[in-house]
């Protein structure tokens, strides 16, 4: 229901207008009456949601044009209809300056009042619907960057949105290509536009995912999809363009060819696994899952015995040297990512077993319950360079070598998590995922350690950090609340508003308004 304010200095004329409006079949409510513009402004302070002001043009204290000018400057969302006893072009021209919607000549009857009122309200409804569409569009555009591929293929509506070509041409063969930039410095919209304009002949569906900062592409629509050389030629032509012409440092991973929608996620995971080869052979190359060795290689019995022996000395430097030699041997021989994966699993198993043995007589749950969590081949995808992987192995070595004597070193993992939050707070972050898939330690241990070091649990810390970032955006940028919500990691705008108000006692809009006054 739309609210209307009637402003007319003649008492009976005002009452007549109110009566016509109230008896009409329009979905409206006359919420106030005023005898002049000054009184109208007072009522506007009381009623914050007035949609339309119907005002006489000539009144004492403040006339209709002055009121229209005030509204145009201070409350432009309120529409104005002018009433007058004179068909004066000068009045009409001035009224247009203040965005007055119509000009009604007295005397006022329902025949000349209701049509312009109805027209204004209909335009407001249309504008509201369009704004809602725009709002929903931008909310969707912001939110869809955070859907995991697994979620997309599991929900029919999301699948049709992200893989619209595949949804229509389900009989066609396809493979998934994943492209990742070493450092995300190239404008995402530019890359998307290039893919759309230059490679739409074979890249039929694509989107950017902020979760791993990766471009996910569905390669399809070409003859002889089973011909590996043709697929390889297409992918490497695209790689060459981005590297040579756009000076991007990228790698591409390519999954196997399938013809079933249910295999999209499998092809995606294969592409991620293929990308692990960059740890061994470097960036600016395309890696194909079909070329990955499938054997389960171990690090070698001699290296295994040597590492088990040196770990028991708890000499940090010597342990790291052995681990480095194992990894270096794989890189020099340019072996497969599978070999690297199995080597990491063996190293972590040896470190984890000794750590558990070290504290087997201790009745301290968080010290003896550390387990290695490196269970999937694409866990390596968390690392962009072999040095990063080696540094995380060094962190495990530090924990073993420091023992209970050096709790400061033990808390290094909390520093890493805090730093990760600072750089990835807008993502869907889970401490369990970080513990098990990034830092390779037991979740319960990691949770206790984080609470001890920060004085709060991880969820509360993440919420506080996100809201702190939201405050900064509210203070320094004229962004819509929905945009800010998605920017700091909230997919539900109403949840963001509730969280903000719970923490600061104000809604985001109220906080922004207060800061502008200050």
Helix (H, G, I), strand (E, B) or coil at 191: helix
Q: Which of 214, 154, 212, 266 is nearest to 428 (CA)?
A: 212
Instruction: Encode 417-448 in three state secondary structure.
Output: HHHHHHHHCCCCCCHHHHHHHHCCCCHHHHHH
Residue 138, judged by CB atoms within 10 A of its CB (0-12, 13-18, 19+), counts as: middle
- pLDDT, mean over the chain: 85
| pLDDT tens-digit readout, 422-473 | 888 887 788 887 876 666 667 887 888 889 888 899 999 999 999 999 998 8
Share of the chain above pLDDT 70, in %: 87
| pLDDT tens-digit readout, 88-133 | 556 656 666 777 888 888 899 999 999 999 999 999 999 888 877 7
User: What CATH code is assigned to 149-290?
Assistant: 3.30.70.270
pLDDT band (50, 70, 90) for residue 137: low
* CATH architecture of the domain formed by 461-517: Orthogonal Bundle (1.10)
Q: Which long-range contacts (CB under 8 A, 24 or more apart) does 491-494 make?
A: 491/143, 491/146, 493/139
Domain borders along the chain are: 2-140, 149-290, 301-447, 461-517
| pLDDT tens-digit readout, 163-180 | 999 999 988 999 999 999
Cα of 22 vs its chain's centroid, Å: 47
Averaged pLDDT, 169-197: 93
Instruction: Check residue 15 and give its pLDDT.
Output: 95
Which of the pair, 513 or 465, is modelled with greater confidence? Answer: 465
Instruction: Check residue 361 and give its pLDDT.
Output: 59
Ramachandran region, residue 224 (left: φ > 0; alpha: ψ -120 to 50; beta: rest): left
Which of the pair, 178 or 149, is modelled with greater confidence? Answer: 178
pLDDT at 375 over 70: no
- Given the candidates 3.40.50.2300, 3.90.1150.200, 1.10.167.10, 3.40.50.970, the CATH classification of the domain at 2-140 is 3.40.50.2300
Lowest mean pLDDT among 170-179, 352-361, 411-420, 484-493: 352-361
Q: Can you tell me the distance from the alpha carbon of 131 to that of 273, in angstroms, rounded to the nearest whole number?
A: 43
Strand partners, 505: none
């Amino acid at each position: 229901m739309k609210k209307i304010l009637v402003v007319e200095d003649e008492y009976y004329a005002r009452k007549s207008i109110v009566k016509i409006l109230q008896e009409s079949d329009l979905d409206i409510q006359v919420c106030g009456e005023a005898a002049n513009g000054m009184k109208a402004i007072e009522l506007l302070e009381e009623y914050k949601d007035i949609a339309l002001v119907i005002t006489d043009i000539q009144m004492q204290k403040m006339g209709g044009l002055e009121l229209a000018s005030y509204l145009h400057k201070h409350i432009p969302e309120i529409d104005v209809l002018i009433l007058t006893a004179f068909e004066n072009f000068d009045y009409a021209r001035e009224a247009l300056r203040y965005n007055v919607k119509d000009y009604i000549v007295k005397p006022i009857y329902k025949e000349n009042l209701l049509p312009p009122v109805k027209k204004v309200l209909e335009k407001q409804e249309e504008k509201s619907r369009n704004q809602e569409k725009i709002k929903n569009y931008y909310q969707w555009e912001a939110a869809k960057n955070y859907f995991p591929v697994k979620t997309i293929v599991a929900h029919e509506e999301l699948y049709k949105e992200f893989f619209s070509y595949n949804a229509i041409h389900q009989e066609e063969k396809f493979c998934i290509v994943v492209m990742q930039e070493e450092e995300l410095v190239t404008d995402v919209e530019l890359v998307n536009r290039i893919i759309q304009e230059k490679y739409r002949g074979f890249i039929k569906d694509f989107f950017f995912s902020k979760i791993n900062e990766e471009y996910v592409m569905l390669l399809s629509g070409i003859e002889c999809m089973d011909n590996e050389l043709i697929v390889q030629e297409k992918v490497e032509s695209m790689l060459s363009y981005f590297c040579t012409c756009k000076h991007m440092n990228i790698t591409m991973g390519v999954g196997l060819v399938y013809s079933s929608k249910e295999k999209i996620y499998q092809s995606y995971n294969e592409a991620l696994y293929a990308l692990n080869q960059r740890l061994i052979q470097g960036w600016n190359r395309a890696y194909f899952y079909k070329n990955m060795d499938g054997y389960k290689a171990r690090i070698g019995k001699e290296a295994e015995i040597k590492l088990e022996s040196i770990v028991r000395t708890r000499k940090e430097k010597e342990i790291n040297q052995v681990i480095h030699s194992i990894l270096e041997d794989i890189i020099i021989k340019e072996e497969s990512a599978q070999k690297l994966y199995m080597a990491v699993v063996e190293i972590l198993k040896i470190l984890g077993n000794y750590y558990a043995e070290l504290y087997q007589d201790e009745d301290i749950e968080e010290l003896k319950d550390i387990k290695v969590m490196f269970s999937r081949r694409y866990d390596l995808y968390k690392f962009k360079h072999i040095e990063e992987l080696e540094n995380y192995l060094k962190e495990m070595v530090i924990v073993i070598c420091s023992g209970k004597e050096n709790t400061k070193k033990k808390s290094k993992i909390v520093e890493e998590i805090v730093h990760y939050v600072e750089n990835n707070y807008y993502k869907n972050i889970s401490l369990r995922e970080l513990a098990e898939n990034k830092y390779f330690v037991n979740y319960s241990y990691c949770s206790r350690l984080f609470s001890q070091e920060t004085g709060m649990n991880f969820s509360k810390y993440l919420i506080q950090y996100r809201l702190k970032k939201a405050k900064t955006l509210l203070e320094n940028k004229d962004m819509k609340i929905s945009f800010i919500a998605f920017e700091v990691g909230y997919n539900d705008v109403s949840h963001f508003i509730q969280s903000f108000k719970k923490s600061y006692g104000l809604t985001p809009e109220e906080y922004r308004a207060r800061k502008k006054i200050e």
